Amino acid sequence: MHEASIAMGLLNSLEELAEKENAKKVVKVKVRIGKLSGIVIDSFVFAFNALKEESPKLKETELIVEEVPLKYRCRECGEEFSCETVFFPECPKCKSINLELISGEELEVVNAEIEV
């Protein structure tokens, strides 16, 4: 259940942001979470919404989560494709298994909307 500490970290940075920007409140925040980031999105959202109550500027903040699927690039033919599995994926075009994971590990805050 490390989702709670990560949610707490996000709330702390939003507090700092609100302070720095002299905001009345933070309206929404958007995060991107990769399928391979090790985060259970439901737990993260639950923790965020439970913990935000503690902060006057954040208690109405809407959390928007974009889930990022696994995406590979084939090192042989350059084909880029989405794929559900991390085990033995192969290129749909040339069947190579020499692949590079290009997305799916994201764990980032994209943007925030504040009211000043």
Partner 1 sequence: MCDVCGCNNHNHDNLMKVSDNTGKKNLEIKKSLLSKNDEVAHHNKEHFDKDGVLAVNLISSPGSGKTTLLEKTIEALKDELLIGVLEGDIETERDAERVRAKGAAAVQLTTGGACHLEAPLVHKGYHALKKQLGRAPELLFIENVGNLVCPSSFYLGEDIRVVLISVPEGSDKPAKYPKAFKTSQAFIITKIDLLPFFDFDIEKVKEEALSLNPNLKVFTLSAKTGEGLEEWFNFLREKVKEKKGALQRA
**What CA–CA distance (Å, rounded) separates 41 from 33?**
8
Q: State which of residues 47, 58, 91, 112 lies at the interface with partner 1 (CB under 8 A).
A: 112
**What CA–CA distance (Å, rounded) separates 5 from 68?**
21
With H, G, I as helix, E, B as strand and everything else as coil, classify residue 99: strand
Give the pairing of strands 62-68 and 80-82: unpaired
Smallest separation, CB 10 to partner 1 (Å): 6
Q: Is 17 in the site for partner 1 (CB under 8 A)?
A: yes
70 close to 86: Cβ distance less than 8 angstroms = yes
Which residues inside 49-88 make contact with partner 1, applying CB under 8 A? 86-88
Q: Is 31 in the site for partner 1 (CB under 8 A)?
A: yes
Residue ranges in contact with partner 1 by CB under 8 A: 1-2, 5-6, 9-10, 12-13, 17, 21, 23, 27, 31, 34, 36-39, 86-88, 103-116
